[in-house]
Chains A and B, each alone.
Chain A
Amino acid sequence: MDIIVCVKRVPDTSEADLAIDKGGKDIQKGGLDYDINDWDRFAIEEAVLIKEKTGGKVTVVTVGDEDAEEMLREGLARGADEAFLLWDESFEGSDGYATAHILAAFLKQRSYDLVLTGTLADDDCGGQFGGMLAAMLGVPVATLVHKIEVKNGSITVRRELEAGLSERLDIDLPAVVSVATGINEPRFVSIRAVRKVASIEIPTVDRGELGLDEADVGSAGAKVEIEKVFLPPEGEGAEIIAGSPADAAARLAEILKEKGGIA
């Protein structure tokens, strides 16, 4: 099977103290660490596991600037065979739709059996890319997939519904599958594996090579626009217990006792 894995580089915002930047349309990204979107690591692992069983080739690809190259190299170290960076200055400002459009143009030039993505990215919390891409390619899609079995020309997947319920589906290939976290255990990447892929060339593919118009990409090709961003007001909700951690813990124990939190 030839599998293409779409990965995204995102700022780690879950623990960071965030501030809005001057323009009011984004956060200040200066001090943030970046990493591959958590869900996408599971997508790469799944692709490599399938390749190990069925043979074929795994390709990792992203729409992103040169800073995303390191992430692609991690994909190679995780077992992918080749990587492509899709970038052009005009891609700046793409929303999920424009990004899917760029990837669809790339995929229309290649052959593949399966495209894997994460289901949701931590930056835009969109959860839209996989479904949009599949529609643009005219192939079926399944999201939140936590199990894939490869058959001949089709796959059987389990996708997650609510409250522990899953559904089983048969899907003809080619298809787009957006995986759920927990579908596998992404392998540990050794220094040796990183060294081994250090010299693999990662080509950059620009707008011209993808045959896209300027109107299709970037903010011109986007369907939604962020007007403003803001932090939800602080001070709603919890009463923060002051004092040193030990003092606060002691106070919390008393509160718990009072409210029936100690049986």
Chain B
Amino acid sequence: MAHRRVSRRHFLIGTATAGAALALGAREAPAQKKAANLRLWILKTYVEPTNKAIEASAQRWAAKHGGTVTVEYFTFEDMQTKYVAAIENKNTPDVGQLETSAPARFAGMGQLLDLGGFAKQIESQVGKPPANVAPVNIVDGKTWAIPWYIMAPFWYVWRDEFEKKNVKLPTTFEEAKQAAQALNRPKDNFYGLGQSWNRTADGYGVMQSLMYSYGAAWTSKEGKYRSIKTPAMQNAMRWATDIYKEGIQPADTLTWTGSGNNENFIARNIAQTSNGPSITFAMENAVAKATDAADRKKKEEALANHMALPHPGGPDGRRMWAIAMSFGIFKNSKDPESAMSLVAHLLSPEETLGVMKDSYGQFAPVLDKGRAASRDYFNKNENYRTFGKAAEWFVPTGWPGPITAAAAEVQASNVLTDAPAKVIVDKWSVDQAIEWEDKKIKEIYGTLGA
């Protein structure tokens, strides 16, 4: 067969016609969205089933939408490091769980998408967070993240120790100290209290709860620097340092890492400590892993004997700093729509409930429908009923002002816990330590502003 020669003109006409036909065909075809491929960063908590439940929930979304979700973990320890490295390398995830101060910090850096519209959609589907939690995600009137749950500290005590000595269960820091004095038995290596001023949330978190409950704050309501050289701060600092001077704590308390108080409480070396429900998780888990009937009975008794009380209050009320976890979507995300879809899926009451049931009480949902769905779960026993109220007493970093980058840096600089350490370790006076702390805070606000 002889080949017909195609002229350049015919070739151009032919390709143009074919191109137009293809283009028309594409426009008419139903929009086929490319499968989403998202990176999700979540906090790895001490309660492994919670981590697995969140991961499983994300994978359910991926299966439903024909995409993939790569779940990566950060821990309490490397939370800052991972985000800092990702931000500087422009390698942020699509969706990231953000702790209390992170939305303000990252929004200030221009890293987060403004989720104002999406927040309204979520509000219509799942409801609003309580008024004291909502400001965590709002900076300058814009919403940068959607709150999911609160991981709060509670005041853990051994019920039998209090009953034996007929000591009142504490409701304030002062009562907790008095109880510690009454329960202290150093000769038996048993101490009334275990509160470390270390560089974890067990240190700087409790210090903030203490300060705020005593009415001591480093900002005004507008978020401007305010001096902490006040009688309220002196009282808070006295409490923080007297518990070390009075010998009511194990001698190595200041050196405890994040798990030190858990271990010492569970081992019954201390009568009271502030901690999240990971203690309850460990004790419930111990029952599940009991080797025989006698072992099981012993562990069940211990479980029934441990109490999680509301965090103590002070002369100015009960204000509890906690980790408020939210979802933020990073500007670098190549597929913000899918990222929002994933967040909406995770926040749905069904998925929230699924994760919460594997959380041993440490996951207290904050959105209306999530809270409503969790009511039965938190009615399991007295400890769980307390866990369920976590959001009630919550105050964020930098109370009474809004969270700002400067307030977040005050917490991150460890100045809040280094100040009592100066009194305990370096034998400074309370006033000297407050003076030093105030100077550091002022410097931070001087360079970062509000």
The answer to whether A and B come from one shared complex is: no
B positions within 8 Å CB-CB of A: none
A positions within 8 Å CB-CB of B: none
